[in-house]
Structure formats: C-alpha cells, structure tokens
Amino acid sequence: MTNPSLLILAGDGIGPEVMTEVRKVIDWYGAKRDLSFDVTEDLVGGCAYDAHGTPLTDETMAKAQAADAVLLGAVGGPAYDNLDFSLKPERGLLRLRKEMDLYANLRPAQCFDALADFSSLKADVVGGLDIMIVRELTSGVYFGEPRGIHKEGNERVGINTQRYTESEIARVARSAFELARKRDNKVCSMEKANVMGSGVLWRDVVTEIHAAEYPDVELSHMYADAGAMQLTRWPKQFDVIVTDNLFGDLLSDLAAMLTGSLGMLPSASLGAPMANGRPKAMYEPVHGSAPDIAGQGKANPIACILSFAMALRYSFDEGDEATRLEDAIEAVLADGLRTADLIGEEGSAPVSTSEMGDAIVAKLDASL
C-alpha cells in the first residue's frame, strides 16, 4: 500500500519557518503512529519568481493536481510590490485555487480556553468557541462578468457582477451539510435575499438541497449583515455557516478575530473528489508571510500545524489523529507557552518558533 502524497509549498517570509515545525509533526506521525506520507517540496510565490520568473511554474501546478493534498505556508512581501500584477506572488496562490477548482473554503474559528482573554470579546462569550465558516471560493462577485472600470460620460464607473449558478451553490451547500454531519449537525446559510436576486437563488437552492438530501441536518437562514451582528453578540450559537464568496471573505475575517490571534487559525480549500475518492485539497494558515519577523524565530507555527490537522481529518480520514494533534496544542497552551504574538505587554518571555514546535511534539509523545 502506497503512502498518501503531500506537496509542501512553504512560500515566502515566515512560511519556511512554520513549515519546518509542521515537518517535525509529520515525521512524528511516521515514526510513532505508522502514518507516513510521501512528501515533496516545491516553490510558490516570491521565491518561485526569484528562481523561475513566475510565481507558479506549470510543473509545480501539475504536482499540485496530482498530490493527495497540498500544504502551503504563505506568499508575498514588499520586495515584490512593484512587479506586474500577473507576476505578483499572490497570483501563484490564486492559480492553485482556480485550476484545482477549490470551491469550498473552510475557515474554522476556534478559541482555546487558555487564549480566551486575547479576544476583544468577553472570555465567557468566546471560551470554547468552535465554529466553521464554509465560503464559496471560485465564483460570485470576484469572478462575475461584466467587471472592471470604464468611462461613462465624464466619470469613471466601477463594475463587479454577482453571479451564481444553481450548481455552484449546490456543491458548496453539500460541502457544508456533509461537514455539519461530522460536527453538531447544524448549518446556517447567510445571504442577502432581501435585496439581491443572487441571494434569493442562494436561499432557494440551499433549501432544496437540504430537503432532498440532508433533512437530518438542522438548517437556518440569516441575512449576512445580521449574521455579522450575531457573530459578535453570541458566536457559540453557530456550528457551520455557509455563505458566498464576498460575504464569506468578510465574515470569516470577523470570526477570525474573535479568537484573538491570526497566528492560531488554519484553513482548508476543498474541491471535487479525485479518482481515489479524496477531495482535491489545499491547506494553509490564515496569516500572511509577515516579512518583518521572517528569520527571527518569532513566528507562531500553530496555524500551520493546525492546517496539517485539517488535512489529517478531511483528506486522509484520520479524525482521531487530528484530534490528538489539536489536543497536544491545547495542552501546550494550557501549560502557558506562548509565541511572541500571544504575549501581552506584561507577559512572560515568549518561546521561539522551534521551541513551540518541539513542545507540541513532546505533548504528542505524552499522548501515547
């Protein structure tokens, strides 16, 4: 039996540093849990431009298409700000999402009890928070036509078109319902059906899919602006939220900050099943490349490690091992270990990127 394949694209800035800590965890699973992966590494983003003159080569794209999962670090940095738009590091990431057709973006917002005080909300409101936002990623207002800026008379006009087909809505709705079945079995669909035709269609299709295929899942609907208000009022009322590309962009960032630190948040982007039954998938931390701290050992590797935990759960059907890894991270935080982003002004000395990775591996050892 061959090992599942994992393509690592560490990228720019702190990407290689946090990915080094993920490799420690991957190696631990191979040595201690007989769970090995065929790992290959390649370039994406600014480092790919430096080496090849493009943020993503065709060869790397082909590797991503063939891999059972892609794990990405971060891309970008000020050194590439003056490049032509088509050559900017972020174009490599967008090409991966588009050509792999990764239409369902999973953004968890999980608040470990030890970090509840880092949220801008009261600890009792966010303590133990564990919700998932499923954002449609490849259609909607960011891709609809017509779009662009043109002249009408004496002034410029900017146009973006919100466009969704039934099938685009149906497939992301199914992703949300399937995910809910593995969690608390609740889905809240958010749109603006009160003012947008695309919102009416969104609500209709989600309702139809629910009635025909997922009647066991509790479904509710909410206007997206009301959803934003409810996320800040009492976020623990939600389990899975499914929404379109634009609203998902906004709501997932709002939910991210409920937890107190972007350095703690992973994400997954999933597509259609491959021949082996696994979905095409890419996993990445929500944080950016943070070039201002790159190479200083200050980066928090937890979001990238949690992204690997998501890969264990959603690509490799290793939910128990994903939970083991999440529990190890929670135990490290409960012990009081903090990287620099989790230290307040009067806090104790932070641990380094590598020290945090080593501590998580030690907790994995203790779990056996």
Among all residues, which ones are annotated catalytic?
142, 192, 225, 249, 253
Q: Could you give the dihedral angle defined by the CA atoms of residues 135, 104, 59 and 29, in that order, rounded to the nearest 10 degrees?
A: 110
Residue 91 and residue 331 in contact, taking contact as beta carbons nearer than 8 Å: no
Beta strands, E only, 12-129: 38-42, 69-74, 104-110
Cis peptide before 146 (omega within 30 of 0): yes
CA atoms within 13 A on the CB side of 113: 6
Sign of the Cα torsion 254, 260, 262, 265 reads negative
Residue 21 and residue 10 in contact, taking contact as beta carbons nearer than 8 Å: no
Tokens 């190890």, located at residue: 328
Sign of the Cα torsion 352, 24, 108, 112 reads negative
322's torsion region: left (phi>0), alpha (psi -120 to 50) or beta?
alpha
Q: Residue 139: count other Cβ atoms within 10 Å of its Cβ.
A: 20
Residue 260 and residue 119 in contact, taking contact as beta carbons nearer than 8 Å: yes
CA distances from residue 26 to 78, 208, 364 in whole angstroms, order as listed = 31, 41, 11
Q: Could you give the dihedral angle defined by the CA atoms of residues 170, 174, 175 and 180, in that order, rounded to the nearest 10 degrees?
A: 140
Report how far residue 200's alpha carbon sits from residue 183's, in angstroms, rounded to the nearest whole number. Answer: 27
